[in-house]
Amino acid sequence: MPDQQQQIEAITGALAGDDRIRGLFLSGSHGNGRADNYSDLDFLIVSPEGASDAMAEIFREAVAGCGEIVLWRDRIVRPALINAITADWTRLDAVLLKPDQLGGQSRAALRALIDRDGILDSLPEGGGPARDMPPARLAYLIDEFIRVLGLLHLVAGRQEYLNGVTGWFLLRGQLIDLMVEETGAPDRGGALHLNRLISPAQQAELAALPLPAPELASLVAAHEAIAAAFLPRARALAAERGVPWPAAFEEATWQRLERAGLLRRP
């Protein structure tokens, strides 16, 4: 396992001599104190140039000092984000921002490595409970679950059973999103921290869901089970948050599935 502290020190040392870099901070798990031996290294680099080619090259040279770069994604996923993996599978990410682009950052989420201008002290404290999912996002999540569930009639009609398995895993991801929202876990972090985001009871419920095989009876059973897990808790959360329930859409979906001889409303 790579020594994370040595790599943090190597990146810091490589960037410390460039006065254009006004701030270098650890974010993510290392920033909020929840890192473990499997955490990636998330950096926030603050300079007047922001996400420029020059700043990207400086970070690349620093990463190369930690080992051979085998993956380099330079501002592809997001305009200011760089992803890198070295030959020993150290994962290093950097967000490149200008000083006036720090809205949304907080002291609780960052650890200062270089801070020439007192940037950290100028940020709000943060670190409170996670904000609720916006109502529009919750409404979309519910609509999308019902839509993907309804596609089972197409899967059956076309005998697209492999696609049916893919669709079920989309539904499972939406159920996980809903469970995370139920717990209100702070500092949700990346996708590889599920154990700390949902309760043991929720984990057991997910583990007990029947996994679909690419044949119709298995797909029907798996879709029935996940609909029974998602819809009641989604209805309760929507009522709690004042999000209108898509009753007409749900009704039309159940009618279409029943006409196809597939699912009945649980």
Q: How confident is the model at residue 219, as a pLDDT?
A: 97
Domain ranges of the chain: 4-122, 135-259
What CATH number is given for 4-122 in this structure? Answer: 3.30.460.10
Note the pTM of the prediction, 2 decimals.
0.75
Residue 228 predicted with pLDDT over 70? yes
Kindly provide the residue ranges of all beta strands, DSSP E only, lying in the chain, ordered along the sequence: 23-27, 41-46, 69-74, 81-86, 91-97, 111-115
Residue 144 predicted with pLDDT over 70? yes
Taking alpha carbons only, the member of 27, 33, 38, 44 closest to residue 91 is: 38
Distance of alpha carbon 63 from the chain centroid: 24
What are 168-187's pLDDT values in tens digits? 999 999 999 999 888 876 55
Residue 110 predicted with pLDDT over 60? yes
Decide: helix, strand or coil at residue 117. Answer: coil
Taking alpha carbons only, the member of 258, 229, 266 closest to residue 145 is: 229
Query: Residue 92: which pLDDT band, with cuts at 50, 70 and 90?
Result: very high
Residue 195 predicted with pLDDT over 80? no
Q: What percent of the chain has pLDDT over 90?
A: 77
Q: How confident is the model at residue 130, as a pLDDT?
A: 54
Handedness of CA 45, 48, 51, 54 (dihedral sign): negative
What are 43-57's pLDDT values in tens digits? 999 999 999 999 999
Residue 188 predicted with pLDDT over 60? no
- Give the C-alpha separation, 254 to 262, whole Å: 9
